[in-house]
């Protein structure tokens, strides 16, 4: 049957080739963008222009997404821990229900954000085409995720046994798509959506994820920068190099 | 002792005529780009009045500055612990409506309107959306409106007054106001710097100017909420915060900042102060009544050999110490005790000082003439048209002592000069006034000279930036010489 054959090729393309293309694009473009346009790395917050609906969209969306995404990552990195946890039905229910609640929070927040952008004229000048594409992709991604959770029960368990091996096979540069090829269409869409999002990531405001504050919690309260170190410059024994182009910070 | 140098400022409020030339100079140089239209790095407020953004002094609304919790100083807005859960939505961020929606007019309608019976008009359009808007607020919306129940009565500083005092202040015969020009205070304990999760804000070690690194700012907006003076602004277009940079490119070239340079009333003074950085934390934790004195004590005497040695050890150039010795700011703040920091109780240790206004506040009407002496030499400060409680809330940390000192001295100097030039007052009275105001005739003349006869060089004592050495730090000067003057600058383009 020629049809099946075509689908097999498509599967290889979407699950065996697309991931590498997406990751390559992600790495090359984020680094290149950081090096040549570091100014463009910003969360591009619009809270200043609209300060009320912002809370009801931003907070549920981010907390919901963080928990759900965190769950996916744990399941990918240590699938056995999930399987162990799910060994007891009560614990499985708790995990599934929690995940679903946070996913619903994320989608409610996201819808609220879309509505906010549509309804507030002041946000028009700070909304780009790539923002709309991104919002659409996130909507599809979260919606299909919730769809999968509802229609194909106990995803937390079968993720660990089917998708983790697939992802690991990609990591080890030995892609094995047999598990994925057999999955239902909705799950496939969710997986493809993930790769497309990763590929699109560096071209959007999503890059703010990479620059979340890191040293704030343990740096000194006040920041002082010295553009040139007079103590060194007046030291004739220090070489030009040793006097250093690196600004002193304390 | 950790000696550091700071470029500091004094604004003499008695000389401010409220012309807003400073604001315009600043606006033309720095903030007429998209996203910055609403920013006024320099603005002039009418006091009593609500200021900009509206009621910025009310920290129960804006949560700016520091608070003292059981002896530990912490940010009132989002400090370390609280930024993590609040990073997605800053609970104390003001919005555009607390400022105003910038607008322009559709001038083309004046030319393109079809012929008709009516005069064509240029309707206002928003500079954000481009839509027609009804203007509800604007810069200096309450300019000169002291006494108005709509604006001036909302001034947060009036909260400390009794009902009676308030009524007096707004009585039509006693009505009084003065101008309050404001720029970034380039504080010693800046709340904006301490609040930035990205570490984009910093204080320059060399001269204490507080700046925002535009390439490190990620729009977490903490600085806007944390600054109690509301002098960091969010650029909604680039997604970065911006603030007064004290025209550092001008200062490095030996020029006064644009707002200083253009000041018509010549109210602005700029010079170096040396201070002891070790004591910042300790002073910031003091109760507000003691803070002004303690901050003054942190400022070091540039003639003290001990201080000079400390400055040298810290690599401060001798020319900077020399400049500190001639600093007009040092004279106003330390030698004469005339200049006071605004709202010291916010805890940021501002390095912009104000000479409190005397004339409109103290004088009273007598037989249709402005009179400033009476039987009681200082004619009873309780008769002041603006109650001292109001002024001390602004400039005294709630403590009237240092404020009265500054006002009495100014009044004594005025009488001293009147004796010199007009000669219609009793020399003995003047002598007593000077003595009671802790001032000598020589000092009085010096203050008079720096206040009234000051030249550019007297007002702005700018330390050399030593660019020749700065370049030597970065690279071989010969190589630098061969590589300047040709290249590309990238504009601040918003990311996607």
Distances (CA, A) of A185 to A1, A69, A148: 20, 21, 10
Chain-chain contact of B473 with A224 (C-beta, under 8 angstroms) = no
Provide the domain count of chain A. 1
Using CB atoms within 10 A of its CB, is residue A45 exposed (0-12), middle (13-18) or buried (19+)? buried
Chain-chain contact of A203 with B236 (C-beta, under 8 angstroms) = no
pTM (2 d.p.): 0.91
How many Cβ atoms are within 10 Å of B261's Cβ, its own excluded? 18
Q: Give every residue of chain A whose pLDDT is below 50, as ranges.
A: 1-2, 239-248
CA distance B457 to B198: 39
Chain-chain contact of B83 with A248 (C-beta, under 8 angstroms) = no
* pLDDT tens track for B87-140: 999 999 999 999 999 999 999 999 999 999 989 999 999 999 999 999 998 988
Residue A239 in contact with partner chain B when CB distance is under 8 A: no
In a domain, A127, yes or no: yes
pLDDT at A233 (0 to 100) = 55
Domain positions in chain B: 1-100+141-483
More reliable by pLDDT, B492 or A201: A201
pLDDT at A156 (0 to 100) = 87
In a domain, A227, yes or no: no
Chain-chain contact of A216 with B199 (C-beta, under 8 angstroms) = yes
Give the confidence band of B169 by pLDDT, cuts at 50, 70, 90.
confident
Specify the CATH number for the domain of residue A58. 1.20.950.20
Domain span at residue A169 reads 2-212
Residue B80 in contact with partner chain A when CB distance is under 8 A: yes
Chain-chain contact of A42 with B205 (C-beta, under 8 angstroms) = no
In a domain, A32, yes or no: yes
- Tokens 């910025």, located at residue: B56
Mean of all residue pLDDT scores within chain B: 90
Q: Which of A45, B203, B492 is nearest to B212 (CA)?
A: B203
Structure tokens at B99: 């400022």
pLDDT at B279 (0 to 100) = 96
Among the listed ranges A23-37, B268-282, B332-346, B372-386, which one has the minimum average pLDDT value?
B372-386
CB–CB of B13/B178 below 8 Å?
A: yes
CA distance A199 to A203: 8
In a domain, A243, yes or no: no
pLDDT at A243 (0 to 100) = 44
Best mutation site among A41, A43, A48 for testing chain B: the one with the most B CBs within 10 Å? A48
CA distance A202 to A218: 29
Chain-chain contact of B129 with A121 (C-beta, under 8 angstroms) = yes
Contacts with B473 from chain A: Cβ below 8 Å:
227-229, 232-233, 243-245
Contacts with A126 from chain B: Cβ below 8 Å:
236-237, 239, 494
CA distance B359 to B466: 42
Contacts with B234 from chain A: Cβ below 8 Å:
45, 48
Highest average pLDDT, of A123-137, B69-83, B420-434, comes from A123-137
The values of phi and psi at residue B162, to 5°, are -80, 165
Residue A211 in contact with partner chain B when CB distance is under 8 A: yes
Residue A3 in contact with partner chain B when CB distance is under 8 A: no
What number is the average pLDDT over the span B185-202? Answer: 96
Residue B98: closest C-alpha in chain A: A48
Best mutation site among B131, B205, B215, B465 for testing chain A: the one with the most A CBs within 10 Å? B205
Structure tokens at B410: 């100014």
Chain-chain contact of A244 with B80 (C-beta, under 8 angstroms) = no
pLDDT at B131 (0 to 100) = 95
Chain-chain contact of B236 with A219 (C-beta, under 8 angstroms) = no
Residue A130 in contact with partner chain B when CB distance is under 8 A: yes
Among the listed ranges A111-120, B133-142, B351-360, B482-491, which one has the minimum average pLDDT value?
B482-491
In a domain, A250, yes or no: no
Among the listed ranges B55-64, B228-237, B361-370, B376-385, which one has the minimum average pLDDT value?
B361-370
C-alpha count within 13 angstroms, C-beta hemisphere, residue B323: 25
Interface of A with B in 144-203 (CB under 8 A): 203
C-alpha count within 13 angstroms, C-beta hemisphere, residue B224: 27
CA distance B141 to A173: 65
CA distance B395 to A105: 49
Beta bridge partners of B75: B66
Chain-chain contact of B202 with A226 (C-beta, under 8 angstroms) = no
- The proportion of chain B whose per-residue pLDDT surpasses 90, expressed as a percent, equals 69
More reliable by pLDDT, A226 or B276: B276
In a domain, A221, yes or no: no
Give the confidence band of B362 by pLDDT, cuts at 50, 70, 90.
low
pLDDT at B257 (0 to 100) = 97
> What is the nearest CA distance from A16 to chain B, expressed in angstroms?
29
Contacts with B474 from chain A: Cβ below 8 Å:
228, 245
Q: Which of A62, A104, A21, A101 is nearest to A206 (CA)?
A: A62
Interface of A with B in 10-49 (CB under 8 A): 37-49
Helix (H, G, I), strand (E, B) or coil at B7: strand
CB–CB of B145/B153 below 8 Å?
A: no
Structure tokens at B49: 């009045």
């Amino acid at each position: 049957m020629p049809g099946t054959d075509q689908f097999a090729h498509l599967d290889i393309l979407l699950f065996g080739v697309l991931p590498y293309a997406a990751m390559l694009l992600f790495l090359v473009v984020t680094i290149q963008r950081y090096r040549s346009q570091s100014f463009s790395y910003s969360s591009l917050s619009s809270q200043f222009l609209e300060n009320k609906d912002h809370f009801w969209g931003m907070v549920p969306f981010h907390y919901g997404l963080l928990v759900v995404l965190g769950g996916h990552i744990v399941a990918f990195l240590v699938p056995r821990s999930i399987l162990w946890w799910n060994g007891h039905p009560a614990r499985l229910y708790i995990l599934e229900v929690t995940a679903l609640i946070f996913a619903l929070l994320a989608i409610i927040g996201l819808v609220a954000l879309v509505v906010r952008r549509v309804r507030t004229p002041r946000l028009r000048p700070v909304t780009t085409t790539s923002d709309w594409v991104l919002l659409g992709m996130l909507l599809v991604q979260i919606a299909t995720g919730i769809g999968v959770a509802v229609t194909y029960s106990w995803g937390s368990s079968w993720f660990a046994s089917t998708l983790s091996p697939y992802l690991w096979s990609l990591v080890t540069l030995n892609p094995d798509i047999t598990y994925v090829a057999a999955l239902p269409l909705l799950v496939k869409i969710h997986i493809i959506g993930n790769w497309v999002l990763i590929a699109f990531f560096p071209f959007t405001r999503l890059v703010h994820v990479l620059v979340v504050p890191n040293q704030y919690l343990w740096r000194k309260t006040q920041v002082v920068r010295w553009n040139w170190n007079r103590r060194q410059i007046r030291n004739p024994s220090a070489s030009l190099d040793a006097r250093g182009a690196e600004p002193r910070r304390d | 002792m950790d000696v550091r140098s700071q470029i500091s400022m004094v604004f003499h409020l008695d000389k401010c005529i409220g012309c807003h030339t400073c604001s315009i100079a600043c606006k033309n140089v720095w903030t007429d780009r998209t996203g910055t239209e609403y920013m006024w790095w320099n603005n002039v407020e009418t006091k009593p009045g609500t200021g900009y953004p509206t009621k910025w002094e009310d920290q129960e609304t804006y949560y700016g500055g520091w608070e003292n919790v059981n002896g530990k100083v912490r940010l009132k807005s989002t400090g370390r612990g609280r930024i993590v859960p609040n990073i997605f939505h800053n609970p104390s961020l003001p919005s555009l409506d607390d400022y105003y929606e910038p607008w322009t007019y559709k001038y083309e309608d004046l030319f393109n309107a079809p012929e008709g019976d009516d005069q064509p008009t240029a309707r206002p359009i928003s500079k954000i959306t481009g839509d027609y808007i009804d203007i509800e607020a604007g810069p200096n919306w309450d300019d000169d409106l002291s006494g108005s129940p709509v604006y001036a009565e909302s001034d947060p500083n009036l909260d400390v007054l009794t009902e009676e005092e308030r009524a007096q202040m707004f009585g039509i015969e006693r009505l009084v106001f003065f101008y309050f020009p404001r720029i970034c205070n380039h504080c010693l304990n800046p709340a904006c710097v301490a609040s930035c999760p990205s570490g984009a804000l910093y204080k320059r070690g060399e001269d204490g100017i507080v700046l925002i690194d535009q390439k490190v700012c990620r729009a977490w907006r903490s600085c806007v909420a944390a600054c109690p003076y509301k002098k960091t602004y969010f650029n909604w277009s680039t997604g970065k915060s911006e603030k007064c940079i004290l025209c550092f490119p001008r200062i490095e070239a030996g020029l006064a900042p644009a707002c200083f340079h253009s000041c018509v009333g010549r109210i602005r003074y700029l010079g170096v102060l040396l201070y002891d950085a070790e004591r910042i934390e300790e002073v910031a934790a003091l109760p507000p009544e003691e803070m002004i004195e303690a901050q003054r004590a942190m400022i070091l005497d540039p003639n003290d050999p001990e201080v000079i040695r400390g400055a040298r050890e810290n690599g401060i150039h001798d020319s900077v110490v020399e400049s500190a010795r001639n600093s007009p700011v040092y004279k106003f703040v330390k030698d004469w005790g005339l200049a006071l920091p605004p709202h010291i109780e916010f805890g940021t240790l501002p390095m912009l000082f104000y000479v409190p206004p005397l004339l409109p506040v103290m004088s009273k009407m007598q037989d249709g003439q402005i009179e400033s002496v009476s039987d009681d030499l200082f004619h009873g400060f309780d008769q002041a048209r603006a109650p001292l409680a109001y002024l001390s809330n602004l400039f005294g940390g709630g403590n009237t002592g240092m404020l009265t000192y500054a006002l009495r001295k100014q009044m004594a100097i005025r009488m001293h000069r009147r004796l010199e030039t007009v000669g219609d007052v009793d020399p003995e009275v003047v002598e007593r006034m000077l003595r009671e105001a802790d001032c000598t005739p020589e000092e009085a003349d010096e203050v008079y000279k720096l206040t009234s006869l000051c030249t550019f060089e007297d007002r702005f004592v700018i330390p050399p930036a030593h660019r020749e050495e700065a370049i030597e730090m970065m690279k071989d000067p010969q190589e630098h010489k061969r590589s300047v003057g040709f290249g590309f600058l990238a504009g601040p383009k918003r990311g996607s």
